[in-house]
Every structure is written in C-alpha cells, then in structure tokens.
Structure 1
Amino acid sequence: MRTQAVLDAVTVESLLAAAVSAPSIHNTQPWRFRFDPDSQVLEVRSVPERTLPLTDPMRRAQYLSVGAALFNLRLAAVHQGRRPEVRLLPDPHDLGLLAVVRLTGPLGTDDQPAAPGLYEAIARRRTSRRPFTGRPVPEPIVAQMTSAAHAAGARLHLPDIAGTRRLLRLTAQAEARNHTHPGRSAETRRWITAPGADTLYGIPVTALGPPDAGGRVPMRDFTGAPPPLRLPALWFERHVQLALLWTPHDRRDDWLRAGQALQYVLLTATAHGLRTSLLHQAMEWPDLRAATALPRHKRCHPHVLIRFGYGPDGAVTPRGFAKRAQ
C-alpha cells in the first residue's frame, strides 16, 4: 500500500512555483490552486475571469493552459522524489475543478525518473517570437519530442514542406481574420501590459515580436497597430520547422492531456537548447481548425502548432499564483 506524503508549506510553494511557469494563451494564467492540508490534496481549478470569450469560447485553449501547468506540477513532484497521482475532471458537478493531485511516495525503484534536464528546463522555457536561424533540428531530438507527446496521451505530426506551407497559410488566414475582427482585436489588446506595469498577468510590450518581412511566418499581431507604430519587420527563417499537436478525441479530458503533452514537448525541446513559439490562430476559427487536421485522418483533432528551432531566447513574462488552503 502506498503511503501518503505529508506536504508542508514550503513544498507546496515550490510545486506551485513550477506549475505557474507553464505557458498560457495570452499569458492569462487561467489556473487556481487549492491545497487541503487535511486530505493532502492539491486541487487545480480554472479561473472564469481569465477567459477569452471571443477567442476561446469553448475554453479549449484554457484547458490546454491548465494542462501545461499540471504537467509542471507533476514534474516538480517527481523531482522532489514524490509520486503524483492525478485525477482529471474528478467531479462532474463541479466544472471548475479540472484536476486533483495527491502525492504519495517516495518514488520506488520501478518508477521511471524524469528525463535529464527536463525539470531544469521549466525555468528556462520561454516563448520566442523572434526569427530562428533555420538550422535543422537533428532527427533524434525531434523523435524525443514526438515520444513525449505520445507518452502524455497526444500525438505530434511533423509535416513535410508542402504540409508546412499549408499550415502556415491557414494560420495566416486566421491572423487576417483576427486582425479585421474588432471584438477579437480588442480582446487581445486587453492582455498587453505597458512597461513597468504592476501586474502578474498578460504580455509585456517588451515580449512582443516583430512581423516577418518575408511574410512566411504569421506571428500574432497583439497590438493591431499600423506601421510605423508596430515593431520593424525582420526576416524570419526560410524553412520553418513546425509540429502539429493533436489528439484522437476532442473531449475536455483530451484538452487537459493535450496541454500536458504540449508542455512535455516544449520542455524536451528546451532541454536540448531549442527555442519554441506557439501558433494558435487557426485553432480559434472552427473551419480553419478543421482544415489543419491531417488529410484523410478522421480522428485528428488539432490543438496547436509548435514552431521550433535554434535562435534567440524569449522575453520573460510575469507570473503569479493564487493558492488557498482550507
């Protein structure tokens, strides 16, 4: 019988510090954690006020974000020698409760430790919205990224050149729609924070990236500002390396698994010295999301495009967490 690990305040704080380092759409950080010292259970909840009603009406992207934070929490627990037992969507009557985590321990000899450098990658992983070098990523690293997604319950598709161009065209179409939709543009701008702003959420202006002078990589234009107010365009990599993260089903628990898989892939890439950014625009329009699915694959439900490669590090974005003990 597995023994239950007793968590003190310092341990809980360290677990949550790792959890909130996860990426989230527009850095909304739509998670809240509640620790019950009696049951020694951590609850992972969604935050209704940090939603994007127009961009993410089904809250699928919110679930991806929470799933990424959940993976970090699990990884931090393993790093401390504890075994995390996770239940997704444990209460059908409490839709805001997305997961519960109970730590038992210590890890046994049969437990598989995390890959070397994966936990340390939590602090180093940042979204890089700047041009990459175009240097090809070695196949063994790509294979590890693919295996990471599969281990977390998702799939990672690496398209060929024609497939990459198709996905980038769909992303560009979505970006154009977002740019001409006043409501969505305003919703996005609300999460931009000015330099020196006293906030733990949102994307600082200093973290925004330039547009691609070649028009190949449709990075999100958060500000919607016309030239010359936007950042000067730079030439992005000629050969974009993309991966499509998808799941065979499209339920709420699949979204949480996809979020965990996303973070597993991002940390694997970071541990190998890669930089990453996410292209989510096409997933925000039902017809374009359906078009990103693998051709002739009836059970492919796309969630996000991952751009990866070698290049400059991303800027630091603010982080915070809300924890309440009962």
Structure 2
Amino acid sequence: MAAHRAAPPEQALAGFSPGLPFAVAFSGGADSTALLLACSQRWPGQVRAVHIHHGLQAAADGFESHCRALCVVLGVPLTVRRVQAGHASGQSPEDAARQARYAALAEAVKTEWPEVRDIVLAQHADDQIETLLIALSRGAGLPGLASMPAHWQRQGLAWHRPWLGVPGASLREWLQSQGQTWVEDPSNADEKFTRNRIRARVLPALAEALPAFRETFARSAAHAAQAQEVLNEVAAQDLAQVGVPPRIHALQQLSRARQALVLRHWLRQLHATTPSTAQLHELLDQVAACTTRGHRLHLKVGQGFVERYGAGLSFLAC
C-alpha cells in the first residue's frame, strides 16, 4: 500500500473523536483486535480494554489468555467480566447474551475506570448488512431497517461503532499487514445461526451481483435511521398531548397510524417493551372500540399487559 494512502481502519478512525480516555470491548477476534490495535496506536495511553467471558464454549479460556497477552504487549489496561446469560421466554439466546454483554461492559467501565465515559465496539460494515437483512427477513419497520447506530447513549455512557463503514475483510488484511494475530470463534462457522448463514452464503452472492451493496445498503439504513428520528420526535410530541399514561379519548383523535406510533413510543420509552405487529393491531382495534365507560381492555403486549384504567391505558409488566 502506498505511503500516502491510509488503510481503511485508519481512515475510519480519522474522523472519530471519542472522549479520552475510553474503553474498547475486546473479544480477541479479528474485528476487536483491529480496533484495539488501531486505537492504541492513535491514542497511546488513553485506551482501556474490557473482555467479556461468556463461558459458552471450551475455547473461551483461550480467548481470555490471548486478550491478556496482547494487552500486556500494547500496554493497555484490561479487565475481564464473566457472564452467564439465561434467556427469557420468547427471547433468543443471542439477544440474552448481547444484553448481558452490554450490561457487563457498562459495569466494568464504571467500576474500574470511573473517568471513562466512552465505550467503543467493533461491529463493521458486514455486521451492519447482516443486521439489515435479518430485519428485512422479519418484516421489520423503520427501527429495524435503521440497523445499528454509529453512536448512542446508554447507562450514562457514550457508545461508538467506528468500523461500520469498513468491511470485515479489510480489517483482517490490515491486521495481517501489521503482523498481528487474532483468535477465531468456532461458533462463527456454525450455520445453524441465521447471521452465519448470511455471512457464508448471502454476502458472497451479493458481492458478485451487486459489487457496491455495502455502501448502498448502508445508505438505505442511514435514510431509515433519519426517518425514524423524525417519527420519534412526532411520537414524543403526540405522547405529550395524549398524556402519560395515554388517555383513550385523546388517542382516538389521532389517525390510526399516529396512534400506532405513539403507543409504540410509550411502550418502548416508558416500559422497555415492544409489541408485535399483531399485538399492536389488536390494541388499536380495542382503543377504537372504547366508546363506553364499561368497555374493558386487557391485552398481552410485549413483556406485559395493556389494560384500561378509567379514561386511560396502563401497562402491567409480567
């Protein structure tokens, strides 16, 4: 590579400005190894690392040993958290593991390095496309089609994904150019997982048929994210008008589409649950039918029940 041309990881970090110091979620795989190495080169002495040990496979201890050894070489402080993520009814093991991982990352940073306010994650362009395709396969709306955000706030921390414009192959090529090894998670080759099937079968076909698909798909996801931001603003304004909890008569003054929008917003923001499409349609039908004081309403929605309470709606978690 010519000296004047930056490698894709270096280009991605050129426009990235995390608060210093910051933490990197470090699994030991190629993506997070590239992230830790590139960040430690760009911000020496300002990087911390958190390794999450899931204990789901025999190779997990080897992952931890690799991470510890590399952090010693790089002079990066490392902390390890072990999690055992059980999944609730209707929740996938992958989703349970992801939520446990984020909670452990936040806990580790707040406990070990209270001065750290930013956490950096290694999901890249291929991960983003896989997320979009999974959302499409499930008939997702705009929140799903928006895929993964590059920046967001959670648990009082700023989270970042600077690799979303970088293909996974480019990260591996860059690591090889640096003479840096990484660990391979055996589960990544198991095609019983939808994401792995997409990676092994769909992405190569897309690359052959639509060479620019990573850029164009990512652009569509960005458009969806922008549209969702506008809808979130509308939903917040409508919720302020209909009240918290929502008043039935005020809801009925809105169009059915805006009722759906504000009810999703209320359930997601205040009760951390999301209704299925069928549940939401039934809830809208019941709201429309609430024309007398005696009309009762009790529906399973997300992780709880929506009930009529006087002139409004209430939510009871399971």
Q: What's the TM-score bracket when you normalise by the shorter of the two chains? A: under 0.3
Higher Cα radius of gyration: 2
Structure-1-length-normalised TM-score: 0.24
- The structure carrying a bigger helix percent of its residues is 2
Structure-2-length-normalised TM-score: 0.25
**Which one has more relative contact order, counting CA pairs under 8 Å at least 6 apart?**
1
